[in-house]
Amino acid sequence: MSLSVRDLTVHYGSFAAVKEAGLDIADGEVLALLGPSGSGKSTLLRAITGLEPLTSGTVRWDGEDLSGVPVHRRGFGLVFQDGQLFPHKDVASNIAFGLRMHDVPRAEHAERVRALLDLVGLTGYERRRVTELSGGQAQRVALARALAPEPRLLLLDEPLSGLDAGLREQLAIDLAALLRRSKITALLVTHDQEEAFTLADRVAVLDDGEIRQEGAVRRVWRQPVDEGVARFLGVTTFVDGEAAGGVVRTPFGEVALPDVGDGAVRLGLRPHGLRVSPEGVEGEVTAVVHRREHVRLVVTVGDLSTVDAVAPVTADLRPGDTVRLALDPDGVAQLRV
Ligand SMILES: Nc1ncnc2c1ncn2[C@@H]1O[C@H](COP(=O)(O)OP(=O)(O)OP(=O)(O)O)[C@@H](O)[C@H]1O
């Protein structure tokens, strides 16, 4: 076990921004702190780095209490949303700063900088001024600078949120590959589920300063602990059903789910958990929103009220049209009851 946080509480005056948080990150693992704005993610990350004083609780590395260890002696690398590069230095000098801070011999700098630029996909950018980089390139340089001293833990606070959507998706994929390849232990703060799922092995969902659920990405996604976590993870409709032999019967039809025990179950449906199909429950379209990969619908289904659903981009649907909806197991979560 590497990082171990216990009962960590941070107060701003009388306000508790983080309440008795506990988490562990094993060697080589990537954990994402996921939660809505203001839930305490950045405060928890900053407390772990030593930038924010703890009101109570402990942060340990391999059993050693870090309470008396200043930020720069913790061996952690930090990357923030806006990178915070030195604007007057070029790319190589920005990265070498991380090396100088950790007493790496000067003769080794050029080679290390070259290797780090290769790692982040910016080969040959040594002499480029940082003011002449795109947002995505600047974040890659910030990442290289943080990785330069070979930190034992990399902490990333919304590293991609300043970038536009397409670049963000690509950089998340690149960063995920880099973290896996380099077996880096990392803690990532994000409010974006896609990003958390692309990058992390495990997620901890925060709300109102508390860790509400923590576990493997797929498990949290498929089995949220309660409706609050489920809603945060994209569930918009809840429905009760009866399971038998791995199949759940609901008012929206049947759906086969892995690991479902017999008896009463409560399901959480994401919009793509209900798809327009030739057969299924009938409803009337009340709203249509075109998205990149599908059409989002709001559908009124008899006395089952309104639900979110999806149709293929090719579907030509308008409010007032009648559609049929069927369950898609990919968009169905099972709430723990
Ligand atoms: N320096 C501070 N003084 C007082 N309150 C603060 C301070 N920093 C943060 N807070 C409050 O603590 C709570 C948690 O803030 P924090 O920045 O940790 O949330 P977050 O989950 O990272 O949010 P976001 O995703 O918007 O960055 C918020 O209610 C915020 O207003």
- What is the rounded distance in angstroms from the CA atom of residue 5 to the CA atom of residue 24? 6
Q: Do the domains at 3-227 and 234-335 have one common CATH topology?
A: no
Q: How far is the CA of 16 from the centre of ligand 1 (A)?
A: 10
Residue nearest to atom 16 of ligand 1 (CA): 40
pLDDT for position 83? 66
Stretch among 16-30, 141-155, 168-182, 264-278 having the lowest mean pLDDT: 168-182
Residue nearest to atom 2 of ligand 1 (CA): 12
pLDDT for position 174? 86
Does position 308 have pLDDT exceeding 90, yes or no? yes
Atom of ligand 1 nearest to the CA of 44: 18
pLDDT digits (tens, 9 = 90+) for 80-117: 877 688 988 999 999 998 788 777 788 888 999 999 89
Q: How far is the CA of 17 from the centre of ligand 1 (A)?
A: 7
Rg (CA), the chain: 23
Q: What is the 3-state secondary structure (H, E, C) of 247-285?
A: EEEECCEEEECCCCCCEEEEEEECHHHEEEEEEEEEEEE
pLDDT digits (tens, 9 = 90+) for 154-170: 999 998 887 787 778 88
Residue nearest to atom 6 of ligand 1 (CA): 12
Indicate the domain borders of the chain. Answer: 3-227, 234-335
Residue nearest to atom 1 of ligand 1 (CA): 12
Question: Does domain 3-227 fall into CATH 3.40.50.11540?
Answer: no
Does position 230 have pLDDT exceeding 90, yes or no? yes
pLDDT for position 163? 78
Q: How far is the CA of 40 from the centre of ligand 1 (A)?
A: 6
Residue nearest to atom 30 of ligand 1 (CA): 38
- What is the rounded distance in angstroms from the CA atom of residue 222 to the CA atom of residue 231? 12
Atom of ligand 1 nearest to the CA of 18: 14
* pTM (whole model) above 0.80: yes
Give residue ranges with CB within 6 A of ligand 1. 12, 17, 35, 37-43, 191
Question: Which CATH class name applies to 234-335?
Answer: mainly beta
Q: How far is the CA of 18 from the centre of ligand 1 (A)?
A: 9
- What is the rounded distance in angstroms from the CA atom of residue 112 to the CA atom of residue 148? 7
Select, from the ranges 108-112, 144-148, 193-197, 275-279, the one with the highest average predicted confidence (pLDDT). 275-279
